Amino acid sequence: AQSVTQLDSQVPVFEEAPVELRCNYSSSVSVYLFWYVQYPNQGLQLLLKYLSGSTLVKGINGFEAEFNKSQTSFHLRKPSVHISDTAEYFCAVTFGRPLVFGKGTRLSVIA
């Protein structure tokens, strides 16, 4: 069985500061890893995904994530956040087709 733990439920950060949202997963097999963002009253939008190859993955809106197999982590980072990055962020894993999501991290960017 697969599971995802997002270690922080809320992360407040000042505008233009760096941010890291943490994600750890558990799986007995190799998985694909995803980060999605959810803005209020909207569906989930893909930020980035790791399938194989380079462990550093770059996504949209300046986000990137690093896959660490030994630590079973897939942390999301952005060097300088903007007010518009305020949203809910979900880490997800899959080996088959259904995605298994974490509980989400609420990123609040403060002006």
- For binding to another protein (CB under 8 A), which residues are involved? 4, 6, 32, 34, 36, 41-46, 49, 51, 90, 92, 94-104
In angstroms, what is the minimal distance from the CB of 110 to another protein? 21
Measured from the CB atom, the residue of 91 and 109 that comes closer to another protein is: 91
In order, the DSSP letters of 55-97 are: SEEE-GGG-EEEEETTTTEEEEEESS--GGG-EEEEEEEESSS
Measured from the CB atom, the residue of 28 and 43 that comes closer to another protein is: 43
In angstroms, what is the minimal distance from the CB of 102 to another protein? 5
How far is Cα 54 from Cα 106, in angstroms, rounded to an integer?
28
